[in-house]
């Protein structure tokens, strides 16, 4: 059984992960409206990944005998100055999630919640990859600036992203 404070903070992180999913979906909608389908695809897949993170915590909490208490998801940002600003927001959001996970890990350590520590190690490793990916994309947007041909090429490249389930199914063959 998880200590009540750890359980409360995991519930809060479930909400944070659902918010991230919702936020990426709002970013995808913005990109679709701007006719950048590749960026929208990348963001939709990111939304699905964040949803899966929320469900991973949901299952962990449930499997440890805790009670999942879903909370209101705040409204995400829906307007951006540019396509580049969307991905600046992606990086900022990933950095915020990293801080949230680090804080939760620190609490689990203080509370000697060892099962939570093990679970959260996966999230720490995941956040390293998430930030790296976002940082690389932001760098590319800053390199291309407002050049239309370069933006279209970057949009095409981002549209080639496959989901993690697609990657695992092709590696099983």
pLDDT digits (tens, 9 = 90+) for 88-144: 999 999 999 999 999 999 999 999 999 999 999 999 999 999 999 999 999 999 999
- For residues 159 and 35, the answer to whether their CB atoms sit within 8 Å is no
Domain boundaries, the chain: 4-70+94-162
Cα–Cα dist 16/94, whole Å: 11
- Among 32-36, 69-73, 163-167, whose mean pLDDT is lowest? 163-167
In angstroms, how far is CA 34 from the centroid of its own chain? Answer: 22
- Residues with Cβ < 8 Å from 34, sequence gap 6 or more? 83
Residue 164 has a pLDDT of: 63
Kindly report which listed range (4-18, 71-85, 153-167) carries the lowest average pLDDT score: 153-167
Please give the structure tokens belonging to residue 162: 């496959």
**Considering the chain, what is the average pLDDT of its residues?**
94
Assess contact for 21 and 47: CB atoms under 8 A.
Answer: yes
**Confidence tier at 152 by pLDDT (50, 70, 90):** very high
Query: Would you state the pLDDT for residue 168?
Result: 40
The answer on pLDDT for 73 being more than 50 is: yes
pLDDT of residue 170 exceeding 80 = no
pLDDT at residue number 169: 39
Q: Taking the model in full, what pTM does it have?
A: 0.91
Q: Is the pLDDT of residue 6 over 50?
A: yes
Q: Which pLDDT does position 1 carry in this prediction? A: 81
Residues of 121-138 as b/e, b for ≥16 C-beta within 10 angstroms?
A: eebeebbeebbebbeebb
Average pLDDT over residues 36-60: 98
Q: Give the CA radius of gyration of the chain.
A: 17
In CATH, which of 1.20.1260.10, 3.10.450.240, 3.40.50.720, 3.60.110.10 is domain 4-70+94-162? 1.20.1260.10
Question: What is the number of other CB atoms lying within 10 angstroms of the CB of residue 5?
Answer: 13
Q: Give 82's DSSP letter.
A: S
Whole-number Å distance between alpha carbons of 99 and 137: 20
The label of the residue with tokens 């099983």 reads: 172
């Amino acid at each position: 059984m998880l200590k009540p404070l750890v359980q409360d903070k995991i519930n809060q992180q479930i909400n944070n992960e659902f918010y991230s999913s919702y936020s990426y979906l709002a970013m995808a909608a913005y990109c679709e409206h701007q006719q950048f389908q590749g960026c929208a695809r990348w963001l939709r897949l990111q939304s699905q990944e964040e949803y899966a993170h929320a469900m991973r915590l949901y299952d962990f909490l449930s499997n440890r005998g805790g009670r999942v208490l879903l909370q209101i998801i705040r409204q995400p940002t829906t307007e951006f100055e540019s396509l580049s600003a969307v991905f600046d927001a992606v990086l900022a959001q990933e950095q915020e999630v990293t801080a949230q996970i680090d804080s939760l890990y620190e609490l689990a350590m203080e509370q000697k919640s060892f099962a939570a520590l093990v679970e959260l190690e996966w999230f720490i490793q995941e956040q390293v990859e998430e930030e790296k990916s976002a940082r690389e994309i932001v760098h590319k947007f800053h390199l291309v600036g407002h050049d239309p041909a370069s933006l279209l090429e970057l949009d095409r490249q981002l549209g080639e992203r496959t989901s993690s389930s697609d990657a695992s199914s092709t590696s099983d063959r």
